[in-house]
């Protein structure tokens, strides 16, 4: 199986790039941000709880997110060539849980592709998206800065977790969307 993590700060282009990569490599896209927003739209208890954190730019508790991933892996086990994890794992506890869940299914993370984007560019992109996204966490500069701070404190250690396993590749995430797609594909093509 080809199991990729698209890694990077909020607004680094994970969702944008995943949309292309899933069709190119026939992988199942799992975005925890999208799953949480779907739960919110359904008005489920989980969605309502998650919304309180997301609106403040904070990470949703690990157990909520890990439970959702467990369900998705079971749903697609044996049916796909692999997964692209987008926005997950965001803490070392999530990374360890993911490694264990995949090991139980006889597979593992193949590669972590980490998009590198400056804070000024992240802020610019997210505020631009906020004009049309309808996302409460995209419009307020303070909330966006809190998201980046959460990333710097809680999520960057995930890169170190996979670097120690020799699975991390850093990719320049500034440039046109197509240029970044080409860089990602060059990394993925040598894995197959």
Q: Cβ atoms within 10 A of the Cβ of 4, count? A: 24
What minimum distance in Å lies between the beta carbon of 39 and ligand B4P? 11
Are the beta carbons of 35 and 68 closer than 8 angstroms? yes
The reply on whether position 15 binds ligand B4P by CB under 6 A is yes
* Token representation of residue 19: 């949309």
Give the x-and-dash track for 41-80 against ligand B4P (CB under 6 A): ------------xx--xxxx----x---------------
As a whole number of angstroms, the distance between CA 13 and CA 8 comes to: 8
The residue from 40, 72, 135, 167 that is catalytic is: 135
Residue corresponding to tokens 């969307």: 177
Q: Cβ atoms within 10 A of the Cβ of 63, count? A: 11
The reply on whether position 11 binds ligand B4P by CB under 6 A is yes
* Tally of helices (H runs) and strands (E runs) in the chain: 9, 5
Among the residue ranges 4-12, 21-29, 103-111, 183-191, the one whose residues contact ligand B4P (CB under 6 A): 4-12
Beta strands in the chain, from DSSP E residues, in sequence order = 2-7, 28-31, 82-86, 111-116, 168-172
Pick the closer one to ligand B4P by CB: 25 or 53: 53
What minimum distance in Å lies between the beta carbon of 65 and ligand B4P? 4
Contacts with ligand B4P, residue ranges (CB under 6 A): 8, 10-16, 32-33, 36, 53-54, 57-60, 65, 87-88, 90, 94, 125, 129, 137, 147, 177, 180
Show which residues are catalytic: 14, 90, 129, 135, 147
């Amino acid at each position: 199986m080809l199991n990729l993590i698209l890694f990077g700060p909020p607004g680094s282009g994970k969702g944008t790039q995943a949309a292309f990569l899933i069709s190119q490599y026939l992988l199942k896209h799992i975005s925890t941000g999208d799953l949480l927003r779907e739960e919110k739209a359904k008005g489920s208890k989980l969605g309502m709880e998650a919304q309180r954190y997301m609106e403040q730019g904070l990470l949703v508790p690990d157990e909520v997110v890990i439970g959702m991933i467990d369900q998705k892996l079971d749903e697609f086990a044996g049916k796909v060539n692999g997964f692209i994890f987008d926005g997950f794992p965001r803490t070392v506890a999530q990374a360890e849980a993911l490694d264990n869940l995949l090991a139980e299914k006889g597979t593992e993370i193949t590669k972590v592709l980490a998009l590198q984007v400056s804070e000024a560019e992240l802020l610019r992109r997210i505020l631009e998206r906020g004009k049309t996204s309808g996302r409460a966490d995209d419009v307020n500069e303070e909330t966006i800065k809190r998201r980046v701070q959460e990333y710097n404190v809680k999520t960057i250690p995930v890169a170190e977790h996979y670097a120690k396993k020799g699975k991390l590749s850093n990719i320049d995430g500034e440039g046109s969307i197509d240029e970044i797609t080409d860089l990602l594909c060059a990394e993925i093509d040598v894995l197959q």
